[in-house]
């Protein structure tokens, strides 16, 4: 009895003096709910432990970024950055507000936030095994119900399942933007996406100029790129063009493969990496 009382007292003291620890700690989970926040050192992990979301630096501890990386790849390669152009300090906090937006603050100033399409009763943010960070209603899991998704706002990396192109209804262009350099995720001047006129065309752009183009989609493949085989044994390529959207998507036939495409500011090219035996091969 005395022991129970002792434990209870300890617990009460803990709650009284360290309420922030309880509110701000996220155990290994793939979610951030309205009542939780994520601070430096804490992460969320996708359900099967493939991707992790949290804060990282690229060598300079005073330049911290919010991002997503592979959890079980030794180099923890970053596949998405929220605040590439505006690094923060360790005391920053990521919260999901009641309007269903993730808000990253430093010294009470908003450094980055999402733009959810509507408000819902119980918003949650979840990191999926595809590497997509989505905001949705707690009880709605279908992709079309997402209020916001990081796949719409890529960094320099295309992951399988991501759509590069245009959501015409929302006038939203989804394209890759190269990092300035390997240790600086500030958006560079090189981007890769779809230009709509006069035909949808996949291009690497340098600033506003076409740098390299794949050519228009001829129904089977991009005409400028004969190597892109239709009956590729390990990849599916898809191009969709209708009144609402125009996009290019790539997915893997073997879901056990880990692969990514990175737009590189230095070499001015897109490179496909495949993970094999714990290291990336081109």
CB of 263 to ligand NAG, least distance (A): 8
Of the pair 115, 139, the CB lying nearest ligand NAG is at: 139
Residue number, 140 or 253, with CB nearest to ligand NAG: 140
CB-wise, 179 or 239, nearer to ligand NAG?
179
Strand order of the sheet with strand 123-127? 31-33, 123-127, 133-137, 148-149
- Whether the CB-CB separation of 147 and 100 falls below 8 Å is answered with yes
DSSP states of 191-210 as a string?
A: EEEEE-SSS-EEEEEETTEE
Residue 43, SS3 per DSSP:
coil
200-259 residues in contact with ligand NAG (CB under 6 A) are none
Report the residue number, 117 or 267, with the smaller CB distance to ligand NAG. Answer: 267
Residue 224, SS3 per DSSP: coil
Q: Out of 51, 70, 179, 192, name the contact with ligand NAG by CB under 6 A.
A: 179
Tokens of 1: 């009895």
Residue with token string 């590497």: 131
Name residues contacting ligand NAG, limited to 35-74 (CB under 6 A). none
Interface with ligand NAG, residue 159, by CB under 6 A? no
Task: Please give the torsion angle defined by the CA atoms of residues 16, 21, 24 and 25, in that order, rounded to the nearest 10 degrees.
Answer: -130
138 binds ligand NAG (CB under 6 A): yes
- Out of 23, 91, 118, 182, point to the residue binding ligand NAG (CB under 6 A): 182
Place of tokens 């998507």: 249
CB of 75 to ligand NAG, least distance (A): 11
- Give the dihedral sign, CA 56/57/58/59: negative
Instruction: Return the DSSP state at 52.
Output: E
Q: Output 236 or 266, the one with its CB closest to ligand NAG.
A: 266
Region binding ligand NAG by CB under 6 A among candidate stretches 160-168, 203-211, 236-244, 263-271: 263-271
| Of 195 and 204, CB closest to ligand NAG | 204
Q: Closer CB to ligand NAG, residue 102 or residue 190?
A: 190
Under 8 Å between Cβ of 51 and 69: yes
State the number of CA atoms in the 13 A half-sphere of 176 facing the CB.
28
Helix-strand-coil split of the chain, %, nearest 5: 10, 45, 45
Q: Which of 12, 72, 267, 279 lies at the binding interface for ligand NAG (CB under 6 A)?
A: 267
Q: How far is the CB of 12 from ligand NAG (least distance, A)?
A: 29
User: Least distance to ligand NAG from the beta carbon of 45, Å?
Assistant: 22
CB atoms within 10 A of CB 225: 11
Number of residues lying near ligand NAG (CB under 6 A): 9
Which residues of the shown chain bind ligand NAG in the complex (CB under 6 A)?
A: 121, 138-139, 179, 182, 262, 264, 266-267
């Amino acid at each position: 009895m005395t022991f129970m009382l002792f434990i209870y007292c300890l617990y009460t003291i803990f709650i009284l003096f360290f309420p922030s620890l309880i509110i701000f700690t996220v155990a290994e989970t793939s979610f951030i709910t309205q009542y939780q926040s994520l601070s430096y050192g804490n992460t969320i992990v996708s359900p099967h432990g493939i991707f992790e979301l949290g804060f990282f630096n690229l060598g300079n501890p005073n330049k911290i970024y919010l991002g997503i990386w592979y959890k079980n790849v030794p180099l923890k390669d970053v596949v998405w950055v929220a605040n590439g152009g505006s690094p923060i300090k360790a005391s920053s906090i990521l919260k999901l507000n009641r309007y269903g937006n993730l808000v990253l603050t430093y010294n009470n100033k908003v450094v980055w936030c999402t733009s959810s399409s509507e408000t819902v009763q119980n918003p949650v943010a979840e990191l999926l095994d595809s590497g997509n960070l989505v905001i949705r209603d707690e009880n709605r899991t279908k992709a079309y119900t997402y209020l916001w998704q990081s796949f719409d706002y890529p960094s320099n990396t295309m992951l399988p399942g991501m759509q590069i192109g245009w959501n015409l209804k929302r006038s939203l262009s989804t394209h890759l933007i190269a990092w300035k350099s390997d240790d600086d995720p500030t958006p560079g001047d090189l981007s890769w996406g779809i230009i709509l006129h006069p035909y949808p065309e996949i291009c690497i752009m340098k600033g506003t100029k076409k740098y390299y183009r794949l050519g228009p989609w001829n129904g089977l493949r991009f005409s400028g790129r004969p190597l892109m085989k239709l009956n590729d044994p390990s990849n599916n390529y898809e191009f969709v063009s209708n009144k609402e959207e125009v996009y290019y998507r790539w997915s893997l036939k073997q879901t056990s493969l880990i692969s990514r495409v990175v737009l590189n500011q230095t070499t001015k090219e897109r490179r496909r990496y495949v993970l094999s035996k714990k290291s990336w091969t081109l």
